[in-house]
Amino acid sequence: MKKIKIESPSKPHFCYFGTDLFEKLPKLISASQLPKNILVIVDSNVNKLWGKNIRETFSSLTYNVNYYILEAGEKSKSFTKVQTILKKMVELKFNRDSMIISIGGGVCGDLSGFVASIYNRGIALVHVPTTLLSMIDSSIGGKNGINFANRKNNIGCITQPEFILIDKKFLKTLPKDEFLSGCGELLKYAFLGDTSLFKDISKFAQNGFKENDANLDNLIYKCILVKSSVVKQDEGESDVRKVLNLGHTFAHGIESTSNFKIAHGIAVSAGLLAAIILSYKIGLINEKQLSAFSELPLLMKYPESINKLSVPSAIKYMASDKKSVNASPQFVLINDIGELAMNVEVDSALVNESLTSALNFIKTLNNPTKTTSRKK
């Protein structure tokens, strides 16, 4: 087991990472002297596969443990679900001496964290991420929230958990498409770290994004270190933390215009490709870098539905992205590996061209018999 300290200014805490760790959760809760009134919010897919194991694990606690099964999918990040869970907690007579434990992916973690932050002005929270994406990204850093008016994560807060427990065994039953979604987020970290991490992630991608890749443990660990370092420097996303949004401005537009049918990590990968192209168009990277950097997102496997996306619709949603200023999207772009440019405003025509170009390349990947010029 690896024990990583997440040195967030508001609440330093630990992230425990390894395999077959979940059974240690009761001891960690007891040792941390956490509240004895617990609501375990479990993703419905996780519950089908691991529900019995989860309940057996909590049976060793002489605590008041209750369960809420959250319907899997982005649609659950809504006010409706928030109200339902809050009502359940009121019915259970939960007060400040209560705690939420989230067991699931990013949707479950985001929603659980948001509810924990507003119930009685804040109660304890523990994250048990079960997807690759949530292990390397969403469970770390304290961002919680829901979607509103078809906008991604535009209602939320930053609230840190008591601790995070990452048990890699949950990946054994993760569907291939969910694993690939996590890989899409993983690609982002190739540009946030050093050249060594870029090479490691490139090798992982070239090998076909395999769940049993011998280097996956190391990649997860390194991504956690990168994100925890960023959070330590800028918990509230006023400066440095914005680098984590690389590819996300485009991605949120893609997700919203697809009505969230395109998974977040897949949208991030497509958004990363668009960001690389845009970086080239405004002169931040040269043609050699464009070719080298583009190879990563072009190795991703994309659903056919992405071919039908409306670029104007995606850009419209991007204008209302929570990071926009005066309805103008703010981009994180690339100068080099580990060197990013933040708060970049770009002419709308170039934004349109970059996203169109990225989606055209993806369309070519999905339809290899049709040829398209590779000039970006």
- CATH code for the domain in which residue 212 is found: 1.20.1090.10
Q: How many Å apart are CA 270 and CA 297, to the nearest integer?
A: 7
Q: Is the pLDDT of residue 295 over 90?
A: yes
Whether 329 shows a pLDDT value over 90: the answer reads no
- Amino acid occupying residue 241: R
What is the pLDDT averaged over residues 337-365? 95
User: Of 173, 196, 226, at which residue does a domain stop?
Assistant: 173
Could you tell me if 129 and 162 lie in one domain? yes
What CATH number is given to the structural domain containing 98?
A: 3.40.50.1970
Calpha distance 43→170 (Å, rounded) = 12
Please check whether residues 308 and 187 belong to one and the same domain.
yes
Binned at pLDDT 50, 70 and 90, residue 376 comes out as: very low
**pLDDT tens-digit series, residues 74-127:** 999 999 999 999 999 999 999 999 999 999 999 999 999 999 999 999 999 999
Q: Say whether both 223 and 298 belong to one domain.
A: yes
Lookup: tokens for 148: 């509103």
Which of 11-15, 234-238, 332-336 shows the lowest per-residue confidence on average (mean pLDDT)? 234-238
Q: Identify whether 374 is part of a domain.
A: no
Residue 153 lies in a domain: yes
Q: Residue 156 sits in which domain range? A: 2-173
Tell the burial category of 56 from Cβ atoms under 10 Å away from its Cβ (0-12, 13-18, 19+): exposed
**Cβ–Cβ under 8 Å, residues 62 and 122:** no
User: Does 216 lie in the same domain as 147?
Assistant: no
- Within-domain flag for 373: no
At 374 the pLDDT is 43
DSSP assignment of 114-132, as one string?
HHHHHGGG--EEEEEE-SH
Q: Cite the DSSP H helix spans in the chain.
A: 25-31, 44-58, 79-91, 106-118, 132-133, 176-192, 195-206, 216-233, 248-257, 264-281, 287-298, 311-319, 348-366
C-alpha–C-alpha distance, residues 69 and 324, integer Å: 35
| The pLDDT value given to residue 320 | 76
The residue to which tokens 């049993």 are assigned: 212
Domain assignment present for residue 36? The answer is yes
Q: What is the DSSP string of 303-336?
A: -GGGGG--HHHHHHHHHTSTT-BTTB--EEEEEE
Please tell me whether residues 264 and 310 are part of one structural domain. Answer: yes
**HSE (CB half, 13 Å, CA atoms) of 158?**
13
CA-CA distance, 127 to 135, in Å (whole number)? 10
> How many domains are contained in the chain?
2
**For the segment 110-119, what is each residue's pLDDT rounded down to a tens digit?**
999 999 999 9
Average pLDDT, the chain: 94
Same domain, 169 and 186: no
Domain boundary among 140, 155, 173: 173
Q: Give the model's confidence band at 237: pLDDT under 50 very low, under 70 low, under 90 confident, else very high.
A: confident
Residue 266 falls within a domain, yes or no?
Answer: yes
Same domain flag for 193 and 303: yes
| Claim to verify: residue 297 and residue 343 sit in the same structural domain | yes
Same domain, 235 and 333: yes
> What Å distances lie between residue 80 and 72, 111, 203, 306, CA to CA?
14, 11, 42, 28
Chain position carrying tokens 């950097």: 293
Same domain, residue pair 251 and 156: no
Choose the weakest-confidence range: 144-148, 149-153, 174-178, 233-237: 149-153
CA distances to 62, 239, 307 from 258, rounded to whole Å, are 45, 30, 11
- The DSSP call for residue 99 is E
Q: Which residues contact 195 (CB under 8 A, 6 or more apart)?
A: 337, 338
Name the residue type at position 171: L
Instruction: Note whether 60 and 203 are within 8 A (CB).
Output: no
User: Are 157 and 80 within one domain?
Assistant: yes
Which of 138, 173, 208 is the endpoint of a domain? 173
Of 362, 369, 370, residue with least CA distance to 184: 362
100: in domain: yes
User: What does residue 348 show for φ and ψ, rounded to 5 degrees?
Assistant: -60, -30
Phi, psi of 183 (to 5 degrees): -65, -35
Mark whether 212 and 359 lie in a shared domain: yes
Provide the pLDDT for residue 319: 85
pLDDT of residue 373: 42
pLDDT level of residue 325 (50, 70, 90 thresholds): low
Residue 280 lies in a domain: yes
Count CA within 13 A, CB hemisphere, residue 177.
9
And the tokens for 140? 């770390």
The answer to whether residue 119 is domain-embedded is: yes
Confidence of residue 372 (pLDDT cuts 50, 70, 90): very low
pLDDT at 326: 62
